[in-house]
Structure 1
Amino acid sequence: MSWAGGVLYVLAVGLLIGGGPRASGTVHGIGALLAASLLVGVLRSRPVLALSMTLLGSTAVVVGPPSSAHVDLSASYQGQFLPYVAVDLVLGFIVATRAPRASTVAAVTSLVVQVLLVGGFAHGDSVIVNLVIALLAMAAACTVGLLSRERREHAVQLRAQEVAEAVVAERLRIARELHDMVAHSIGIITIQAGMGSRVIQTQPEEAREALRAIEATSRETLSGLRRTLVALRQADPDAAASGGAPLTPSPGLADVERLATATTDAGVRVDVRRHGEERPLPADIDLSAYRIVQEAVTNVVRHAGTGRCRVSIEYGDEELFVEIIDDGRGATEDGPTHGFGIVGMRERVALLHGRLSAGPRPEGGFRVAARLPLPEPVGVPAGAR
């Protein structure tokens, strides 16, 4: 209905110019300002057209001659340029919402018209005063428009930056999940395949056990990959509505014994020790603790050169403590040779505001220790804990 507002504005300006006796310039200026409010619909859809209509209407009200001899001329010129305040408001909106080129053309056009009209229709000493007021009003409108546009552009940049950071964080999370899941399984498969190939002629039963372990580990890895891929597609409504097999739950510390069994089949015996009162943990802490144990045990299988390691899990009141110790070669750093295992551990612990230490032991071997803060139990006073 913006066209209806434009028609009403034209009619209102016509009434102000010739619809009755000419009142003072202030009265006509206020009337022109109120009439400009009819152009709100035009301003939203076509701001340049709104500026043109406001400029023409305000100029028509300013140059319209007094039609009544009973009105004092000096009074009739008081506030005669007040209609241009509406022009300045529309100009500020254009500066705030349109491209710099269009804003510059609109500002220059408005400036030229106002300077010519003030110079031609102001009287006596009021010429300079009216020019200064017109310039200040236009400068204020343009300044407010520029500040509004900069603020909006800054908000858009912040949102874009937040989206980019969220995408990077999600990519890192997926990379950690895939690395921790696949690296362990591939390490087990490699060892079992090597052992099976060596004993397939002399010990066929041992070779069959190795093949069974490879099959079980491969199935578990495929299940984990499918779970990850399906989780990535949950944002797709069509994918969610298409049905399919339900997701299996993410692994946690309850699955450490199963991990130890698979690792033992690969030739490294894992001694799991639990301390404290076992209780359900938040999903992110439970998954991260399991992945830390999995990655550390994988490094033992692939790099330590030993046949045993120890995993300690301690449930404290305020934190979860996980420690993995071996008596192998004790690699010194997690560099390119060893992939991104320890880097991924540090990222997981940092996201949970915990602490991680990983390095060789003085007595030989390697030690990984993580402390993950736990949330306060609901309904248990701090003094009771």
Structure 2
Amino acid sequence: MPVNSPSLLRRVTPGGWAAVAWTAGLVYSFVVLVRLPGESPDNFYRGLLLADGNQIWLALSAVASLAGCVLLRRRPLTALGLLLAGAVFGAFAMHSTAIDVPLVLGPDVALWYVAATLPRRRAVIASGMAALVLLGYPIGRVLAGFVIGTSSALAVLLTAVVAALLGNSAGESRRHAAELSENAAARAVAGERLRIARELHDMVAHSIGIVALQAGAARLVLTTQPEAARDALGQVETASRETLSGLRRMLVALRAAEDTPDGRPPLAPAPGLADLDRLARTTTAAGVAVELRWHGERRPLPPEVDLSAYRVVQESLANVVRHAGARSCQVTISCGEDSVSIEVLDGGGRRGTQPAGAGFGMLGMQERVALLHGTFAAGPRPSGGFRVAATLPVTAGAR
């Protein structure tokens, strides 16, 4: 049997359970009529025989009850009415002073199903219908001058109340679980959209900043220094191709998400601190000299820490290129036992056009660091320029 196949009990339909309950109740009702040795013959039929003519009521009970079981999933209220009618006909067949508990097992299953699956208004209608029938039988016998079984009538009514309450509780649990699932799905979608937005911004912002800077430089020296303009345009072409390639890889990963077992994009090589030398060369070629310093022992980092550290440096350099007006900057990476620290310093004087905390770049860096329970600080330096600092914890298990 496949692992994910439902069990036999789960494959039984609600109408099937109602049919099982009705059959069990009917069998019990007949069994109690059997006269055992030593029992008084006055209160029992001979064996399983009913009084003459009552077989018709029994046949009507069987037809109505089985029809209700068949219709329970498609027309629940109609099915409940048929099952209740079957219980009444069964009581007629046995000349019962009340509708006995075994005869209402089927209607109780139907009442549970209605209360668990239908809206509250229809569940209330079903409960009222059941109460009307179960109370109407003894009341009708009283009006006709017959005796009634008060305790049996109350017991039957109690089983109906319990079935309705249990069904309502099951329905509330199911609706609450569905609401939690929808909320979790919405949060997952929002988180994934935010992650994609951060990746797109961090991947594109740096390259676009270099493209803008080199294109401006090429425009200024296009007629006076053709060679310099050609080199600048070459840098523009290289940065544009790299950005386009990165965007294409991301789109391919997003389109291929449905092909993975868990629905997540397949893992692709992500940049890390090992790529900082190439990032520094690219930024230097754009006109901002990058001095890269390493402290501590360089060692492999967890992928999420490695990627976040790289993105923090990348976005910081992009801000230097676009906003600082500096000709150089200093990047320091300190690798400790339990953390990796990043510090980016520049001496530019035009950062005021992009205050700390404004724009998506600074917000993205703060979010990345916060997700890893690290610390982040960014602001003007007293001696001039700007400073970005972040510390990302590295657990021993992750290393």
Length-normalised TM-score, structure 2: 0.77
Per the TM alignment, residue 186 of structure 1 is displaced from its structure 2 partner at its CA by 1.0
Equivalent residue letter for 2:178: V
Aligned-partner Cα distance in 2 for 1:375–1:196:
47
Aligned-partner Cα distance in 2 for 1:61–1:132:
18
Report the secondary structure of 1:233's partner residue.
helix
Matched, 1:113 2:117: no
Aligned-partner Cα distance in 1 for 2:290–2:330:
6
Per the TM alignment, residue 53 of structure 1 is displaced from its structure 2 partner at its CA by 4.0
Alignment of 1:53-68 (within 5 A): 53-66=82-95
Counterpart residue number, 1:217: 239
Per the TM alignment, residue 351 of structure 1 is displaced from its structure 2 partner at its CA by 1.2
Counterpart residue number, 1:287: 307
Equivalent residue letter for 2:257: A
Report the secondary structure of 1:376's partner residue.
coil
Per the TM alignment, residue 48 of structure 1 is displaced from its structure 2 partner at its CA by 4.2
Structure 2 residues not aligned, in runs of 5+ = 1-11, 34-44, 52-60, 261-265
**Of 169-178 and 108-117, the range deviating more from structure 2:** 108-117
Per the TM alignment, residue 306 of structure 1 is displaced from its structure 2 partner at its CA by 1.1
Specify which of 390, 394, 397 is matched with residue 370 of structure 1: 390
Q: 1:7 to 1:281 in 2, by over 3 A?
A: closer
**8 Å CA contact retained: 2:80, 2:111:** yes
Deviations along 1:260-309, one digit per CA (max 9) or x if unpaired, are: 11111111111001111111222211111111101001111111111111
Q: 1:117 to 1:377 in 2, by over 3 A?
A: closer
Equivalent residue letter for 2:48: G
Matched, 1:104 2:104: no
Specify which of 80, 95, 119 is matched with residue 51 of structure 1: 80
Per the TM alignment, residue 85 of structure 1 is displaced from its structure 2 partner at its CA by 4.3
Alignment of 1:215-254 (within 5 A): 215-237=237-259, 249-254=269-274
Report the secondary structure of 1:83's partner residue.
helix
Per the TM alignment, residue 323 of structure 1 is displaced from its structure 2 partner at its CA by 0.9
Aligned-partner Cα distance in 2 for 1:203–1:313:
38
Q: 1:277 to 1:336 in 2, by over 3 A?
A: closer
Q: 1:107 to 1:273 in 2, by over 3 A?
A: same
Aligned-partner Cα distance in 2 for 1:335–1:201:
36
Counterpart residue number, 2:347: 327
Equivalent residue letter for 1:313: I
Aligned-partner Cα distance in 2 for 1:363–1:113:
89
Aligned-partner Cα distance in 2 for 1:332–1:83:
83
**8 Å CA contact retained: 2:207, 2:239:** yes
Report the secondary structure of 2:89's partner residue.
helix
Counterpart residue number, 2:110: 90
**8 Å CA contact retained: 1:358, 1:368:** yes
Deviations along 1:112-155, one digit per CA (max 9) or x if unpaired, are: 1111102234766854x555444433332222211211111111
Report the secondary structure of 2:256's partner residue.
coil
User: What is the total number of aligned residue pairs between the two structures?
Assistant: 353
Counterpart residue number, 1:166: 188
**8 Å CA contact retained: 2:100, 2:153:** no
Counterpart residue number, 2:36: none
Identity in percent:
44
Aligned-partner Cα distance in 2 for 1:11–1:286:
66
Matched, 1:182 2:204: yes
Counterpart residue number, 2:48: 20
Matched, 1:191 2:191: no
Alignment of 1:291-330 (within 5 A): 291-329=311-349
Counterpart residue number, 2:263: none
Aligned-partner Cα distance in 2 for 1:107–1:356:
61
Per the TM alignment, residue 217 of structure 1 is displaced from its structure 2 partner at its CA by 0.6
Aligned-partner Cα distance in 1 for 2:113–2:210:
66
Aligned-partner Cα distance in 2 for 1:161–1:6:
35
Per the TM alignment, residue 205 of structure 1 is displaced from its structure 2 partner at its CA by 1.0
Counterpart residue number, 1:345: 365
Per the TM alignment, residue 90 of structure 1 is displaced from its structure 2 partner at its CA by 2.0
Q: 1:52 to 1:312 in 2, by over 3 A?
A: same
Alignment of 1:248-263 (within 5 A): 249-263=269-283
Aligned-partner Cα distance in 2 for 1:86–1:352:
57
Equivalent residue letter for 2:88: T
Aligned-partner Cα distance in 2 for 1:217–1:120:
90
Q: 1:47 to 1:318 in 2, by over 3 A?
A: same
Per the TM alignment, residue 371 of structure 1 is displaced from its structure 2 partner at its CA by 0.8
Q: 1:208 to 1:187 in 2, by over 3 A?
A: same
Q: 1:5 to 1:308 in 2, by over 3 A?
A: closer
Per the TM alignment, residue 102 of structure 1 is displaced from its structure 2 partner at its CA by 3.4
Q: 1:333 to 1:136 in 2, by over 3 A?
A: farther
Q: 1:337 to 1:212 in 2, by over 3 A?
A: farther
Structure 1 residues not aligned, in runs of 5+ = 24-31, 67-75, 239-245, 381-385
Aligned-partner Cα distance in 2 for 1:42–1:288:
59
Deviations along 1:86-122, one digit per CA (max 9) or x if unpaired, are: 4223202211012334323322222211111022347
**8 Å CA contact retained: 1:330, 1:360:** no
Aligned-partner Cα distance in 2 for 1:311–1:284:
20
Per the TM alignment, residue 21 of structure 1 is displaced from its structure 2 partner at its CA by 3.5
Q: 1:293 to 1:7 in 2, by over 3 A?
A: closer
Aligned-partner Cα distance in 1 for 2:356–2:128:
62
Counterpart residue number, 2:172: 150
Aligned-partner Cα distance in 1 for 2:77–2:250:
52
